Structure 1
Amino acid sequence: MNLKPRIFHKLMLLLMLPLFLSCGGSAKKQYVIGVSQCSEDVWREKLNEELRIAALYYNNVDLRIKSAYDDVKLQTEQINSFVDEGVDLLIVAPGQVTISPAIDRAYEKGIPVIIFDRRTRSDKYTAYIGADNKEIGSSMAEYLAGALPGGGRILELCGLSTSSPAIERSEGFDSVVATRPGLEIVAQAHADWTEEGAFRVMDSLLSKSHPQFDCLFAHNDRMAMGARRAAAKHGLDINSIQFCGIDAMPQNGGGMRLVTDGTLFASYIYPTRGDEVIQLAMNILTKKDYKRENQLSSALVTRDNAR
């Protein structure tokens, strides 16, 4: 049996091995990006889809998304799990400001952290990207001051008191209302950002003695719709109450459509922009220039411009 061809092939493989290794070493690094979502809703479903599509543009990104379903303890565990897995970068939408210690742990371990949509009490993050919630609140108040020339008695339905959007939207809205003699906040209540939660809060409020109101500003469209259902249940003339929200999602049942058909008086676009979030993440990971504070554009939506 002639062994020379076999020996020749083995020698050739050995000679080519360094070439194969050098080719493998020049391949793009695989980046693992962990995404910690505080909850699950239509707005976040749209964001997650945008993140996935944007990640496909890069053939070296492993995107892992976890949702805490409004459970702060679960979100803490999920963030810690991402840290223990050794992800290359973490994107977090904090459910409440109390989630800070878990995010701090990731940052202190050298994992770049992008805070998206909401803030924490901590300054330990690599970059922030989101809309200006205080500006959104103040812009809605400015609009109502002009759209309700006869004045308005406003019931403000806030999100969770421990979440940064609720805190900031109230600050912006309340500060402008305080300077407009025709506007008055007659009551404030807090719900959990969901339609059903808002329905329960409003149902309870309307079941007892309460101040009269002709405008309701909810911190998102879903809560505005929950409040509207409760008002209808208690026999209020919902067509004479101006219901306003925030998010202005364009699909069926979203705030933009609800403004178009007159169900809501006004809303405010709260952008998702998953493409920009992924771009920011890749700039950080590949050592490109990036800004630490990144503000997304938003806009008021009324019947005049909804279409």
Structure 2
Amino acid sequence: MLVTSSMNKLSFLVSLTTSDNDYQIEQAASAESTARRLGVDLQIIYADNDAINQSQQLLQVIQSGSRPSAIVFEPAGSTGLPQVARAGAMAGMGWVILNREADYVVQLRSSYKVPVFCITSDHKEIGRVQGRQIGALLPRGGAVLYIEGPSGSDAAQQRTEGMQQTKPANVQVRTVRAQWTEGSAHQAVSAWLRLSTSRTLQLEAIIAQDDSMAMGARKAFQEISDMEQRDRWLSLPFTGCDGMPKTGQAWVRNGLLAGTVIVPANAGLALEMLAKAIQGGTMPPERTFTEVRSYPPIEEMAAAQRSRRPV
């Protein structure tokens, strides 16, 4: 059994990777609306995509005199900050990891009477959905430019693995990396366009692991001075991931994206599970998956592509 607490004493800290990403913005909004509904105190901080900064921020909170009831964090780097997690649990704080799994969760759950768990999207399944979207967009095969997240990101690696599992064998993938933001993707694609290979490669689609990065790529293509080349690039289908209602889904509806993968924000769910666990003295499941889906459905994407480019 966990140590219980009264609801009016609960306070939570949410640590997100950046404020310059539509999914992270939705994570913050999800946490804020849930905190208001539950009547708990909430503080949100951002790591600026810097794992060292995130670690220092969290250690400072843990070592402070006024500690929150629990910390909810989305890792900015390649690890789940195991030493920080242990310090938090030792100090009596709950610990929740968003969109990442960590081996240390099992040990902390058995050693400390605080809620420790992870809530994550199935990143391989996100990649599998993107692979199926590629099949819908390229029925004859071809090549795509794939904008991948940072090299140290488990989410990026797992999405790539999933995409490779389901994309058609006759589709080749050319990869550039960015940092989950529109600005970083704009820079990466702009640099790629300066390479001579970009001018000789015939691509059929631009596929990004994040909606913001897809829009950053569009911005880079919009800046091409050669009107014919610019129009050719912008006529290709672009897809992303996250599918937030006001960004990714809206961009699909207005034609800027051909598709996205809806990945529900889960920070609010983390707060709900924490409050229930602390109030009731029960340990939540070690891992909770949130479901993902293609938007629009794969069949609609295939039909739209057939009408756009008749077979």
TM-score, length of structure 2 as denominator length: 0.80
Match of 2:96 in 1: 114
Post-superposition offset of 1:94: 0.6
Q: Match of 1:84, as an amino acid?
A: Q
Match of 1:230 in 2: 220
Post-superposition offset of 1:121: 6.7
Counterparts of residues 1-307 of structure 1 (less than 5 Å): 30-40=9-19, 41-59=21-39, 61-85=40-64, 86-98=67-79, 100=81, 101-119=83-101, 122-123=104-105, 126-177=116-167, 180-185=168-173, 187-210=174-197, 211-234=201-224, 235-236=229-230, 237-251=232-246, 254-286=247-279, 287-288=281-282, 290-302=284-296, 304=300
Q: Match of 1:204, as an amino acid?
A: A
Distance change (3 Å), C-alpha of 1:208 and 1:224: same
Q: What is the SS of the residue equivalent to 2:238? A: strand
- Contact 1:93/1:116 (<8 A) preserved: yes
For 1:221 and 1:230, locate their aligned partners in 2 and report how far apart those are by CA, in whole Å: 14
For 1:263 and 1:28, locate their aligned partners in 2 and report how far apart those are by CA, in whole Å: 44
Structure showing greater Rg: 1
- Contact 1:250/1:257 (<8 A) preserved: yes
Q: Match of 1:139, as an amino acid?
A: V
Post-superposition offset of 1:267: 0.5
Q: What is the SS of the residue equivalent to 1:247? A: coil
- Contact 1:129/1:277 (<8 A) preserved: yes
TM-score, length of structure 1 as denominator length: 0.81
Post-superposition offset of 1:143: 2.5
- Once the two structures are superposed, residues 41-82 of structure 1 have per-residue CA deviations (whole angstroms, 9 ceiling, x without a partner) of 3322322222222122334x2222211222222211111022
For 2:284 and 2:104, locate their aligned partners in 1 and report how far apart those are by CA, in whole Å: 20
Match of 1:19 in 2: none
- Unaligned 5+ segments in structure 1 are 1-25
Task: Out of 239-248 and 214-223, give the one that drifted further.
Answer: 239-248
Aligned pairs, number: 274
Q: Match of 2:284, as an amino acid?
A: Y
- Unaligned 5+ segments in structure 2 are 109-115, 302-311
> Per chain length, whose mean CA-contact separation is higher, i.e. which structure has more relative contact order (CA < 8 Å, sep 6+)?
2
